[in-house]
Amino acid sequence: MKRAVTVAQVRGLLAELRGAGAGVSFVPTMGGLHEGHASLVERARQAAPAVVLSVFVNPLQFGPDEDLAAYPRDPQRDARLAQEWGVAVLFTPSSEFLPAEGGVRLDPGPLGGRLEGAVRPDHFRGVLTIVAKLLNVVRPDVAVFGQKDLQQAVLVRHMVRDLDVPVRIDVGATVREPDGLALSSRNAYLTAAERADAPALQRALLVGEAALLSGQREPGRVREAIVRALDETPSLHPDYVAVLRAEDLAESSLAHGPTALLAAARLGRTRLIDNRIVDVGGAS
């Protein structure tokens, strides 16, 4: 595994790989690596064998009262895991990678102000700005994102489409603990009691999925079923619950085709997000 810190270094390493005829795939992360990231690396490798993995805790996507200072960081462990997973290049840019203060930022459009964006203003502005920089530096054939951050993945696809960025965006399935909790670096914040309650978020989404699969097509009714299920766990404090078209997270009067069930909730000092995508077939 080769390592790069500067843009010049990573571009030089990638020129060598491409000169040898290797296709390049890319997995951007904020570190705190876990098996969910491992699955994304493997998915990336299947698409293009030379995997670049970046680790950059992006301050632009954190609000003033969020957990930037506390976000899990263990660079030595991250490097060891990246090597074990067969990553070709580990790119760990410094804070100098950030755009100049007062410089260009990308506007995510209306979707960036909904769901996560309604709770975390400017979050996706920061996400898309750094993802765009990373894609411009790495210039991969394919970049792989996780379904757990579904809104992020949809917005990145929109950005790539609207700005004609020559990369394919792939989305890997969420990896879960045996009890259903989605793997996340922030799960490290959970106390033992909170960890016991955390799978209730996924269970509530499964209630919504069951409603869809049993024939309920009114998004409002499905959402109500999810909210009722969440109410059974008082320690969970929902930020939002939504039932939307999976492709673009648009609202529809009746669910049809791939439908996304999304929820976010606070549990102690930890914020959990999760989703499920259910294909309910044609309009009915």
Q: How confident is the model at residue 218 (pLDDT cuts 50, 70, 90)?
A: very high
On the question of pLDDT at 284 being above 70, the answer is no
Q: Looking at residues 264-282, what average pLDDT do you find?
A: 95
Contact 25, 44 (CB under 8 A): yes
Q: Round to whole Å and give the CA distance between 240 and 139.
A: 35
User: Where are the CATH 3.30.1300.10 domain residues in the chain?
Assistant: 185-276
Exposure pattern of 109-122 as b/e (b: 16+ CB <10 Å)? eebbbbbbbeebeb
Does residue 70 carry a pLDDT above 90? no
Q: What is the pLDDT at residue 281?
A: 85
Residue 123 a catalytic site member? no
37, 123, 158, 237: the catalytic one is: 37
Cβ burial of 194 (10 Å; 0-12, 13-18, 19+) is middle
**Each residue's pLDDT tens digit, 202-211:** 999 999 999 9
Fold classified for 185-276: Pantoate--beta-alanine Ligase; Chain: A,domain 2 (3.30.1300)
* Whether 201 contacts 272, CB under 8 Å: yes
Q: 101-110 pLDDT, tens per residue? A: 889 999 999 9
Chain length of the chain: 284
Position 107, amino acid: D
Q: What is the CATH number of domain 2-172?
A: 3.40.50.620
In the chain, residues under CATH classification 3.40.50.620 are: 2-172
pLDDT over 70 percentage in the chain:
99
Instruction: Give the torsion sign (CA, 199, 204, 210, 213).
Output: negative
CA distances from 231 to 50, 93, 145, 196 (A): 46, 42, 31, 16
Tell me what pLDDT residue 65 has: 84
- Amino acid found at 56: F
Q: Give the rounded distance of the alpha carbon of 192 from its chain centre.
A: 25
What is the sign of the dihedral through the CA atoms of 137, 143, 147 and 152?
Answer: positive
By CB atoms closer than 10 A (0-12, 13-18, 19+), residue 24 is buried
